């Protein structure tokens, strides 16, 4: 019997089978279901409709609810969504609810999940958000599902799933100081297109990947959905285990899973990091690839550093290191992904200044931990593009209207490239500041 990939092995285990192959439909048991304020009310509605108004979730320890999208807004419907979550959590007596306005509030779900110990190797994590695939960085099967599927999982703890084939992307060589994981994943998406991995797993491998810290690995896995991927995954190593063991508050046991040596990959693509330049995705698609030096001089109105893709400590260290002692010439918005990261910005220092002080002295504005303008949101959302502005952003999507105004233009780039561009007011290769 042929060997299995990491993704296939996790799904086989959760289907109580010895072997699965791509294309097979199977019932799998779910370890964690996450929902938030945008999709939570719809998921809860499906659950009540099909399981009964007074039904209980299949396992209260496995449901995680994290409001994060439309939080700091006066919008009545957005506030109503959070109220629906609060009512459901009270009704179900759910222990893992990170409510806004309380000490438990976290911020962006995809970063909050690992911070709070809800991500473990070998598990299956589903969430009502396409970027749930971020958690594949921890060696688990993590993917986004719709409200209907989530409502069913909430009651049954299982899901009917098709086993994806796996594409493998290998990064060789040492990471130069002007590159970040965002450049790597934008290069991949630009090469294979927004449909290049449709309903397939994307496994990342090679010395370049395993030299990355856990936050950068999360960035890689976060954006596989922009290539149509079902899930992204990286085999666990000591870096993974050190993070998970530190955060695994429940002390739940887990199983490290890796691809077999004779596993079949539908495609393999190898990248030489020494030959890669800083990458930018031009409007209006994440696969509209260019290199930063090719876009030199492109005028900008705004810079944005934040989101699940670009609002982690690694992202802010990179941006602050480049911005230290400089001043931005366009409106620049900084949004930490979580409250833990926001606190760290006030304590971690570069050249004697906290990261927060570096950003403020450079002229940037700092918002509260949340998704903020990544998904546009109500007009009073921090950093939202309320007119036809041209923005360079560390977020993960640049479709028309994604960050607000339908005529705005969004360029996706790494925190280094965004910071360099904020200083000049035009798209700038960060190598100009790192030489």
Region at 399 (left for phi over 0; alpha for psi -120 to 50; beta for the rest): beta
Query: Going by C-beta distance under 8 Å and a sequence separation of 6 or more, which residues neighbour residue 108?
Result: 68, 307, 308, 311, 337, 338, 369, 370, 371
- Cα–Cα distance measured from residue 114 to residue 398, given in angstroms and rounded to the nearest whole number: 26
Integer CA distances (angstroms), 41 to 35, 37, 74, 96, in order: 9, 7, 18, 16
**Of residues 336, 327, 330, the one with CA closest to residue 374:** 336
Q: Per residue in 26-56, pLDDT tens?
A: 999 999 999 999 999 999 999 999 999 999 9
User: Could you tell me the fold of the domain covering 278-434?
Assistant: Aconitase; domain 3 (3.30.499)
DSSP secondary structure of 11-60: HHHHTT-S---TT-EEEEE-SEEEE-TTTHHHHHHHHHHHH-TT---S-G
pLDDT above 90 for 2: no
DSSP secondary structure of 176-187: PTT--HHHHHHH
3-state secondary structure at position 73? coil
Residues 335-343 have a mean pLDDT of 98
Residues 294-312 have a mean pLDDT of 98
pLDDT above 80 for 177: yes
Instruction: Phi first, then psi: give them for residue 296, nearest 5 degrees.
Output: -50, 130
pLDDT above 70 for 435: no
- Enter the DSSP assignment of 282: P
Contact 397/226 with Cβ under 8 angstroms? yes
3-state secondary structure at position 218? helix
- Cα–Cα distance measured from residue 370 to residue 359, given in angstroms and rounded to the nearest whole number: 18
Instruction: Phi first, then psi: give them for residue 69, nearest 5 degrees.
Output: -80, -70
State the pTM of this model. 0.98
Q: What is the CA radius of gyration of the chain?
A: 21
Q: Which helix (H) or strand (E) holds 271?
A: strand 267-272
Q: Which residues pair with 50 in a beta bridge?
A: none
Confidence of residue 86 (pLDDT cuts 50, 70, 90): very high
Region at 137 (left for phi over 0; alpha for psi -120 to 50; beta for the rest): alpha
Integer CA distances (angstroms), 304 to 82, 189, 251, in order: 26, 21, 37
Residues 120-133 have a mean pLDDT of 98
**Of residues 217, 198, 15, the one with CA closest to residue 136:** 217
pLDDT above 90 for 184: yes
- Cα–Cα distance measured from residue 191 to residue 287, given in angstroms and rounded to the nearest whole number: 7
pLDDT above 80 for 1: no
Domain boundaries along the sequence of the chain = 6-253+260-270, 278-434
Q: Per residue in 372-426, pLDDT tens?
A: 999 999 999 999 999 999 999 999 999 999 999 999 999 999 999 999 999 999 9
Give buried/exposed letters for 52-74 (b at 16+ CB in 10 A, else e).
Answer: eeeeebbeeebbbbbbbbbbbbe
Equal CATH topology for 6-253+260-270 and 278-434: yes
- Cα–Cα distance measured from residue 308 to residue 314, given in angstroms and rounded to the nearest whole number: 12
Contact 193/291 with Cβ under 8 angstroms? no
User: Could you tell me the fold of the domain covering 6-253+260-270?
Assistant: Aconitase; domain 3 (3.30.499)
Query: Going by C-beta distance under 8 Å and a sequence separation of 6 or more, which residues neighbour residue 245?
Result: none
Altogether, the residues listed in the chain come to a count of 435
Contact 144/131 with Cβ under 8 angstroms? yes
- Cα–Cα distance measured from residue 233 to residue 111, given in angstroms and rounded to the nearest whole number: 16
Confidence of residue 434 (pLDDT cuts 50, 70, 90): confident
């Amino acid at each position: 019997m042929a060997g299995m990939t990491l993704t296939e092995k996790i799904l086989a285990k959760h289907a109580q089978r010895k072997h699965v192959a791509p294309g097979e439909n199977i019932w799998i048991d779910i370890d964690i279901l996450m929902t938030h304020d945008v999709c939570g009310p719809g998921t809860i509605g499906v659950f009540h409709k099909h399981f009964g108004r007074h039904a209980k979730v299949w396992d209260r320890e496995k449901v995680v609810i994290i409001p994060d999208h439309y939080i700091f807004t006066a919008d009545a419907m957005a506030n109503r969504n959070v109220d629906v979550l609060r009512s459901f959590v009270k009704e179900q007596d759910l222990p893992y609810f990170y409510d806004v306005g309380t000490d438990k509030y976290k911020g962006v779900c995809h970063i909050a999940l690992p911070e709070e110990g809800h991500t473990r190797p070998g598990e299956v994590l589903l969430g009502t958000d396409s970027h749930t695939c971020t958690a594949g960085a921890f060696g688990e099967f993590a993917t986004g599902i719709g409200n209907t599927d989530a409502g069913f999982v909430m009651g049954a703890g299982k899901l009917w799933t098709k086993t994806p084939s796996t594409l493998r992307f290998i990064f060789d060589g040492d990471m130069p100081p002007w590159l970040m994981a965002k450049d790597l994943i934008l290069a991949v998406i630009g090469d294979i297109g927004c449909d290049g991995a449709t309903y397939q797993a994307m496994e990342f491998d090679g010395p370049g990947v395993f030299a990355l810290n856990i936050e950068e690995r999360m960035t890689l896995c976060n954006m596989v959905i922009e290539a149509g991927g079902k899930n992204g995954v990286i085999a666990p190593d000591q870096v993974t285990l050190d993070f998970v063991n530190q955060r695994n508050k429940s002390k739940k046991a887990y199983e490290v899973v890796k691809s077999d040596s004779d596993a079949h990959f539908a495609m393999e693509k190898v990248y030489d990091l020494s030959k890669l330049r800083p990458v930018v995705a031009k409007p209006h698609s994440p696969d509209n690839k260019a290199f930063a030096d090719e876009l030199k001089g492109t005028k900008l109105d705004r810079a944005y550093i934040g989101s699940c893709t670009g609002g982690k400590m690694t992202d802010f260290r990179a941006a602050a290191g480049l911005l230290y002692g400089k001043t931005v010439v366009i409106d620049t918005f900084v949004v930490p992904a979580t409250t833990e990261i926001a606190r760290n910005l006030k304590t971690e220092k570069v050249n004697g200044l906290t990261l927060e002080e570096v950003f403020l002295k450079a002229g940037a504005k700092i918002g509260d931990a949340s998704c903020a303008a990544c998904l546009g949101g109500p007009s009073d959302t921090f950093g939202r593009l309320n007119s036809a502005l041209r923005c360079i952003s560390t977020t993960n999507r640049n479709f028309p209207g994604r960050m607000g105004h339908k005529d705005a233009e969004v360029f996706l780039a790494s925190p280094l490239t965004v910071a360099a561009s904020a200083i000049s007011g035009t798209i700038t290769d960060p190598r100009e500041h790192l030489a």
